[in-house]
Structure 1
Amino acid sequence: MFQYIKGTIDSFGEDYIVIENHDIGYKIYTSLETIGAVKGRQGKIIIFTQMVVREDDISVYGFSTREELKMFQLLTTVTGVGAKVALGILSSISIGNLAGMIISEDITGLTKAQGVGKKTAQRIVLELKDKIDHKLAILEPSLIPLKPTFTDANDEVVNALMALGYNRGEALAAVHEVEYGSNGVEDMIRRALKVLAK
């Protein structure tokens, strides 16, 4: 129904953003990758969308790039992978790394994503290996997951930011942006606060 929504950012949640367009707020479920990409942007942004209709629910999922939307659509074609699981995968692994893992049949790497066990990882590889655009796999030369594990230090920083009044989605996005190169928890908190203050 919608190809994309263009508007200004109203608010963030743990796994969604609200985009205001003509005085209407659209709740769009999205990945941490997209939340990190659009957070702090001024003016209008474009979110590429996919409506998911179930018997008891109608939801809109959206991403900051067409490539991430395409990967979401491919993931939801896999047996046993619904929209929520697909979103968890995209919040754990970047699309470039994900494409590389599927092409190289990296089952272990895929199981590090939220909600993905060994059997699901095997199905993803089996059903998508021939459908993945190999160009996606070279968008990022390093096959390092964006969030291979969420460390105790990261959890501590997220909890500290939430205690300061930020919601979990904002805190996760900020930690995701500063986790590499930080020198301990206190340094990560300081850097995350600078990100959130932008």
Structure 2
Amino acid sequence: MFEYIKGILQYKSSEYCVIDVGGVGFKINISLSTAGKLGDVGKQAMLYTYMSVKEDDISLFGFSTREELSMYLMVISVSGVGPKVGISIVATLDPSTFSLAVATGDYKKISQTKGVGPKLAQRIVLELKDKVTKEMKSNDAKVLASEDSEIATATGYISSDAISALMVLGYSSTEAAKIVRRVYEDGMTLEETVKKALKSAF
């Protein structure tokens, strides 16, 4: 219903804030990390929002960036992940780190979040891996096509996913492709390729 809310910050804590828009105060649930990114009380603030509607409750959840909101919507689509747990995950892992963890099957990274045990973390990876991988490929496709496509596609789908994972971490498409081409061996999994590539880069 609300893409974002922009107004004067009237109150903030580690759990929620209140933004005044035309004399109406919106209570928005936030994470500690989001609270830290908000300005001072009395100043203008804006948060991207999601409205959770239940039979006995309507709540707003706010995020500093559109990417965090997109990640949140993806996370709460997983069975067993409610709005509160979802916001905890966003507070613990930034979108890039989360995407890499899901793409490489690193459920232990996700289980670092308060309220997320190993079983739920594994379910998150299982239900979101295909979607995250497709989004990573989609986001990087144009960049990869404009660079050295021969390097990027030389070792097939595993290396392509590994290149995308490295790009999420800040490597250029050319750097990522060269590193993956150097370390990849037939039969290696995506996780093995990424780990070896990261070790090789240092």
Structure-2-length-normalised TM-score: 0.64
Distance 1:130 1:8 in 2: 40
Counterpart contact for 1:33–1:94, Cα < 8 Å = no
Q: Residue 174 of structure 2 aligns with which residue?
A: none
Please state how far the C-alpha of 1:103 moved relative to its aligned partner: 1.0
Whose relative contact order is higher, 1 or 2, with alpha carbons under 8 Å and at least 6 apart? 1
Moved over 6 A (4+): none
Q: Residue 113 of structure 1 aligns with which residue?
A: 113
Equivalent position amino acid for 2:118 in 1: K
SS at match of 2:97: helix
Alignment of 1:89-128 (within 5 A): 89-128=89-128
Gaps of 5+ in 2: 140-163, 172-202
Distance 2:32 2:169 in 1: 17
Alignment of 1:111-190 (within 5 A): 111-132=111-132, 133-134=135-136, 138=167, 140-141=169-170
Gaps of 5+ in 1: 143-198
Distance 2:116 2:95 in 1: 16
More divergent stretch after superposition (40-49 vs 26-35)? 40-49
Please state how far the C-alpha of 1:141 moved relative to its aligned partner: 4.1
Please state how far the C-alpha of 1:67 moved relative to its aligned partner: 0.6
Equivalent position amino acid for 1:119 in 2: K
Q: Residue 11 of structure 1 aligns with which residue?
A: 11
* Per-residue deviation, residues 79-100 of structure 1 (Å, max 9, x unmatched): 1001010011112122221111
Change (3 A) 1:2 1:121: same
Distance 1:41 1:99 in 2: 33
Distance 1:41 1:28 in 2: 14
Distance 1:98 1:65 in 2: 15
Change (3 A) 1:42 1:130: farther
SS at match of 1:129: helix
Distance 2:170 2:102 in 1: 15
Please state how far the C-alpha of 1:41 moved relative to its aligned partner: 8.0
Alignment of 1:27-66 (within 5 A): 27-40=27-40, 43-66=43-66
- Percent of pairs with identical residues: 40
Bigger-Rg structure (1/2): 2
Distance 1:115 1:101 in 2: 17
SS at match of 1:115: coil
Distance 2:5 2:43 in 1: 14
Distance 2:168 2:14 in 1: 26
Counterpart contact for 1:33–1:91, Cα < 8 Å = yes
RMSD: 2.2
Equivalent position amino acid for 2:26 in 1: Y
Name the structure with the higher helix share.
Answer: 2
Distance 1:41 1:14 in 2: 14
Say how many residue pairs are matched: 142
Counterpart contact for 2:85–2:116, Cα < 8 Å = yes
Counterpart contact for 1:28–1:59, Cα < 8 Å = yes
